[in-house]
Amino acid sequence: MESDYKYLVQHLQQSQYRTHANHLETIIKPIPDSDRTGDLDSRVFETLTANHSSHDEPDTAFDLEAARASMGWPNQDRTTTDIKTEYLMIPSEDGDIPVRLYRPSHTEAIPVILFFHGGGFFGGTLDTVENPCKLLSERANAVVISVDYRLAPEHPFPAGLNDCYRAFEWVHAHSNELNILKDRIGVAGDSAGGNLATACCLMEQERGEGRICYQALVYPVVNLGTIPTDDFEWALDAYDISHHHDLIRGVVLALADADSFFNDLYLQGMADVTHPLVSPLFADDFSSLPPTLIVTAEYDYLRLEGEAYARKLSGAGVPTRLVQYRGMDHAFMDKLGDYPQADDCMNEIAKGLKELTK
């Protein structure tokens, strides 16, 4: 019911608790309608069991188009005001870049967030993230520009990243025509899109420009090879699993790429897996990166590297907030309208734009 959903979203905003260590603020958001720990949110459990989760299926030959078609979720438009949608083409020497621009009904200049969708660098569409982007536009009172960057394997690294950075440069150069605030440009993305967002910030830092004022990374990929570092080593026992042990282990391990198949699909020998623009956790310098929000899901293979990245940024003096949603799995943002955590995630990104860039 709609009233129940709204209550759960409100509960998520109020029932969080915070920890502080090494200049890093971590916000833990418990399951809003359960006191159980070490378990999946009931909505995640129902989704996984209803769809006979793919990690229980026998291995078959990889079908790129089938994998692309399986991504995303039929999410809902949660906006309550009119958000205008525009379709633009950003000129680029490598081929024009399609984008969708979402704008609240305003006449004054407002901030802008470039959003890069997830999909393992080989999939994902603007359709999948349209409703989250519209809601983010409403909640942040910002223009949101969703970028249809080129995908591997047809376009390996760094093609997609170059598209994302080119889109940012174009937005910055055309701020007057777009009626946006030139000094309030943020980047955001989920999963592979989070990787592209923070890689854009690293590119901007390398150029000494500092024109990106905020980055919001939702369960980002920041260590493609899951390679141990001085502050990171992936381990299943880092996950608190008290119920549905086999199911949750399968959920956590679903994104493991033990044979590097998906990494190779993206890189195709164009760069080493530890290149900082491939695996940002391996960057040498984070000191000039913008204020950052990192969102993780408790039962996501990428959670531990996201936490390590938050520690790296915070240790370098970057204002950083880490939010963990208990009981969630990877890609929960796609379930907007079904999972109240997806709605709350957009609230957190919006709040970060307003607070971290003060």
Exposed/middle/buried for residue 57 (C-beta within 10 Å: 0-12, 13-18, 19+)? exposed
Q: 205, 204, 195: which is closest to 166 by C-alpha?
A: 204
E strands within 196-285?
A: 214-218
Strands 24-29 and 320-329: parallel
Quick one: three-class SS letters along 312-332?
A: HHHHCCCCEEEEEEEEEECCH
Q: Which amino acid is at 355?
A: E
Q: Which of 191, 260, 287, 288 is catalytic?
A: 191
- Evaluate the omega torsion of the peptide bond into residue 158 and state whether it is cis, within 30 degrees of 0: yes
191 is annotated as an active-site residue: yes
Distance CA 298, CA 315 (A): 23
Q: Give the pairing type, strands 97-104 and 143-147.
A: antiparallel
> What is the rounded (10 degree) CA torsion for 157, 159, 163, 169?
80
Active site residues: 191
